[in-house]
Amino acid sequence: MPMLRRTEGKMVYELRPNADWDKGKAVEWLLDKIQGEYDRKVFPFYIGDDVTDEDAFRMMDDLQGLGIIVSETAAEHSTAASFALRNPYEVVEFLNAFANPLSTGVAGTGEPGAADDSSGSASSLGPSPLPLPAATSNNLGGSSPSTVRPSQGGSREQGAGSREQ
């Protein structure tokens, strides 16, 4: 039995241990370690750009996290990701919004349950959605920078001034 197995992606071959292990299980393991070490609940999100990331996107649903695919053509194929960003530049904007919450109007003390709670839950990110420019998972065209639409599997729509989960 070979010790490694090859997994094919869009433009990549991944060599993985020949075990019942994938990116989704790796994310779950990391999250357990982080939450155990810091004794704090965190809001996980996973950003990927390949079919090899689909296991992690599926795990985000189980963990009540956010799976984000980076793809110009996300509307043209099936994905387990909840949202999409078109390119790495939009990923940088998204990550900057998380890293610099005051610049996007998202602030908090970090105290769970506080009015300005930033404990990591999506509902603590403030009344306005983070700037995910033209971000959708199944319809990349026609979205304004302040509009976020989940995949067709979801039923909620978010626009400026809403942040419902």
pLDDT in tens, 89-148: 999 988 888 888 766 554 444 444 444 444 443 333 322 233 333 443 333 333 333 333
Q: In what order do the strands lie in the sheet with 83-85?
A: 45-48, 66-70, 83-85
Determine the angle formed by the axes of helices 54-62 and 23-38, rounding to 10 degrees.
40
Using CA atoms, how far residue 1 sits from 38, 44, 72, in Å, is 39, 35, 39
User: What is the per-residue pLDDT for 24?
Assistant: 93
Is the pLDDT at 21 greater than 90? The verdict is: no
User: What is the per-residue pLDDT for 14?
Assistant: 78
pLDDT, one tens digit per residue, over 41-81 is 788 999 999 998 999 999 998 998 999 999 888 777 789 99
pLDDT band per the 50, 70, 90 thresholds, residue 157: very low
Is the pLDDT at 30 greater than 80? The verdict is: yes
What lies within 8 Å, CB to CB, of 132 at 6+ separation is 83, 85, 90, 93, 94, 145, 148
18 versus 163: which is more confidently predicted?
Answer: 18
Instruction: Look at the block and give the residue holding tokens 């939009």.
Output: 90
Is the pLDDT at 162 greater than 60? The verdict is: no
The mean pLDDT value for 154-160 works out to 33
Residue 37 — left, alpha, or beta (φ > 0 → left; ψ -120 to 50 → alpha)? alpha
